[in-house]
């Protein structure tokens, strides 16, 4: 020990490691080699890689390929990492070796040293629990890292994203029912269109989120297939024939997700196609949410000089200079999240193109971006529901403007013909009169007939 540092030896020689660190020499080299950013693979990834190591130790113990005392120490250590006690020991930058080998070794070394300490050994001694020979037994970074990405993303989708989207869907469905009898002017091309129920607009939003949930489930299905078992290049070299089957069985029990082993390890390790596909589904969800959030912003614009058909909950002052101004801040935060997710997907797409022969070499950044996207949408969708959608109220501005609109002349077209209806709309536009007023002047229809034809609610449903 020198100045709170310890010396460790690895295959490349000797180097100093902080004396109290649970990571070791391999991790330290990566820490020094990649001083790129402050980005680190987060909690969901750390938990997932520890679950892989725990499942591996359990399986190796059952197969008799690890001594019981070594396996038990690894099992106990991995559980502590799963529970989050050692997150600060995962110090490798996201922008590192493309296989994620540095992060795999970070996990191996932390779990090894926790186990060594529990058995009375010295940190960094690699005795009696070796990070490669014991913690990494039957594994390679090349199958552990893609497996970990799949497990972490699948669990996050299953436990966070889908439940959060279900909260948002329920909120939108509730508002659809609440607003069902409120008729307003529809809009296409940002121009007035035929009447629509405010509840029908919200039914459309709820439908988007319903489909978003199905897309999240499709992403989950893609991620359920794991690369574990291919080791270095897909051949399974250095692995017990029953190892991967046992590990995946354990992972399924731990996560309540029915993971399975790929039937083509050469595909599963040379590509991250499933990650690209999952990211694409997540991006689609972001696109849907951005549309909804922007519509909410526009519908609530004003309150006097905008559309103002709904009022949004007032959650904070909107201006440092204009007293009383309130902004649609929750919806704005949603749009920023969606922009980030769309950008993340572009990075994942590029990462997916970076598979060379038997290995993809952008796995860490793909992992970071996919997991960040899932986390952001999970938090944002439930927050959108609770802080904004649940508190929306309809104003009388929408209903009051329906009969002022020109597009209601569409209902006249089947009666008087398209050209006559278009003429009525032009006259109304030029004179400022309503469609009803012009129709009385330009047709032989009596007022009762006109009122029946132009009744707004009747325009929101198909007529028999």
- Residue 118, domain CATH: 1.10.275.10
pLDDT at residue 324, as a whole number: 85
Q: Within this chain, do residues 349 and 451 fall inside the same structural domain, yes or no?
A: no
Bridge partners (DSSP) of residue 183 are 197
CA distances, 381 to each of 44, 163, 362 (Å):
19, 10, 29
Residue 325 belongs to domain spanning: 143-182+196-397
pLDDT at residue 343, as a whole number: 98
Q: Within this chain, do residues 178 and 277 fall inside the same structural domain, yes or no?
A: yes
Total domains, the chain? 3
Q: Within this chain, do residues 147 and 103 fall inside the same structural domain, yes or no?
A: no
- Give 146's contacts (C-beta < 8 A, 6+ positions apart): 226, 227, 268, 269, 272, 275, 360, 363
Q: Within this chain, do residues 175 and 113 fall inside the same structural domain, yes or no?
A: no
Q: Within this chain, do residues 306 and 421 fall inside the same structural domain, yes or no?
A: no
Q: Within this chain, do residues 27 and 161 fall inside the same structural domain, yes or no?
A: no
Domain ends where: 379, 397, 415? 397
Q: Within this chain, do residues 90 and 224 fall inside the same structural domain, yes or no?
A: no
Does some domain include residue 42? yes
Q: Within this chain, do residues 155 and 108 fall inside the same structural domain, yes or no?
A: no
Residue 332 CB burial class (10 angstroms; 0-12, 13-18, ≥19): middle
Catalytic machinery residues: 189, 319
- Work out whether strand 225-226 and strand 183-188 pair parallel, antiparallel, or are unpaired: unpaired
Q: Within this chain, do residues 160 and 98 fall inside the same structural domain, yes or no?
A: no
Tell me the average confidence (pLDDT) per consecutive run of 10 residues in the chain, 464 residues long. 83 93 97 97 98 98 98 98 98 98 98 98 97 98 98 98 98 98 96 96 98 98 98 97 98 98 97 98 98 98 94 89 90 98 98 95 98 98 98 96 92 94 94 94 94 92 74
Q: Within this chain, do residues 390 and 418 fall inside the same structural domain, yes or no?
A: no
Model pTM? 0.95
Phi then psi dihedrals of residue 13, to 5 deg: 125, -155
- Work out whether strand 13-18 and strand 183-188 pair parallel, antiparallel, or are unpaired: unpaired
pLDDT at residue 384, as a whole number: 98
SS3 per-residue string spanning 56-119: HHHHHHHHCCCCHHHHHHHHHHHHHHHCCCCHHHCCCECCCCCCCHHHHHHHHHHHHHHHHHHC
Q: Within this chain, do residues 325 and 240 fall inside the same structural domain, yes or no?
A: yes
Q: Are 86 and 114 in contact (CB under 8 A)?
A: yes
pLDDT at residue 225, as a whole number: 98
pLDDT at residue 462, as a whole number: 79
Does some domain include residue 236? yes
Q: Within this chain, do residues 113 and 243 fall inside the same structural domain, yes or no?
A: no
CA 445 to chain centre: 56
pLDDT at residue 437, as a whole number: 94
pLDDT at residue 150, as a whole number: 98
């Amino acid at each position: 020990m020198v100045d709170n540092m310890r010396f460790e030896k690895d295959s490349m020689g000797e180097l100093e490691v902080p004396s109290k660190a649970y990571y070791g020499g391999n991790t330290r080299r990566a820490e020094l080699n990649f001083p790129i950013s402050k980005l680190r693979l987060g909690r969901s990834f750390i938990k997932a890689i520890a679950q892989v190591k725990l499942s591996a130790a359990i399986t190796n113990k059952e197969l008799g390929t690890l001594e019981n005392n070594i396996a038990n120490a690894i099992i106990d250590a991995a559980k502590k990492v799963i529970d989050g006690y050692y997150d600060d020991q995962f110090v490798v930058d996201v922008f590192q070796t493309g296989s994620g080998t540095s992060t795999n070794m970070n996990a191996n070394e932390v779990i090894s040293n926790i186990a060594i300490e529990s058995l009375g050994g010295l940190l960094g001694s690699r005795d009696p629990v070796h990070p490669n020979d014991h913690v990494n037994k039957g594994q390679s970074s090349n199958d552990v890292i893609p497996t970990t990405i799949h497990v972490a993303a699948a669990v996050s989708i299953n436990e966070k994203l889908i439940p959060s989207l279900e909260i948002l869907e329920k909120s939108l469905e509730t508002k659809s029912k609440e607003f069902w009898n409120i008729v307003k002017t529809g809009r296409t091309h940002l121009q007035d269109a035929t009447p629509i129920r405010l509840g029908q607009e919200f039914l459309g939003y709820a439908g988007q989120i319903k489909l978003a949930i199905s897309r999240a489930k499709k992403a989950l299905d893609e991620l359920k297939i794991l690369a574990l078992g291919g080791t270095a290049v897909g051949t399974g070299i250095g692995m017990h024939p029953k190892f991967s089957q046992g590990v995946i069985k354990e992972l399924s029990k731990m996560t309540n997700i029915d993971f399975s082993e790929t039937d083509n390890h050469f595909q599963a390790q040379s590509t991250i196609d499933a990650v690209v596909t999952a990211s694409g589904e997540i991006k689609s969800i972001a696109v849907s949410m951005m549309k909804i959030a922007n519509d909410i912003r526009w519908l609530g614009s004003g309150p006097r000089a905008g559309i103002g058909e709904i009022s949004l909950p007032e959650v904070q002052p909107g201006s440092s200079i204009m007293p009383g101004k309130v902004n649609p801040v929750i919806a704005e935060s949603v749009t920023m999240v969606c922009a980030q997710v769309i950008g993340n997907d572009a990075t994942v797409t590029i990462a997916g193109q970076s598979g060379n022969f038997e290995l993809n070499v952008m796995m860490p950044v793909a992992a970071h971006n996919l997991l960040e996207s899932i986390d952001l949408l999970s938090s944002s969708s439930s927050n959108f529901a609770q802080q904004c959608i649940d508190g929306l109220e309809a104003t009388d501005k929408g209903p009051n403007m329906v009969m002022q609109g020109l597009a209601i002349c569409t209902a006249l077209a089947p009666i008087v013909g398209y050209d006559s209806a278009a003429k009525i709309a032009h006259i109304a536009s030029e004179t400022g009169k309503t469609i009803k007023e012009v129709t009385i002047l330009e047709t032989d229809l009596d007022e009762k007939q006109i009122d029946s034809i132009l009744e707004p609610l009747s325009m929101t449903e198909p007529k028999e």
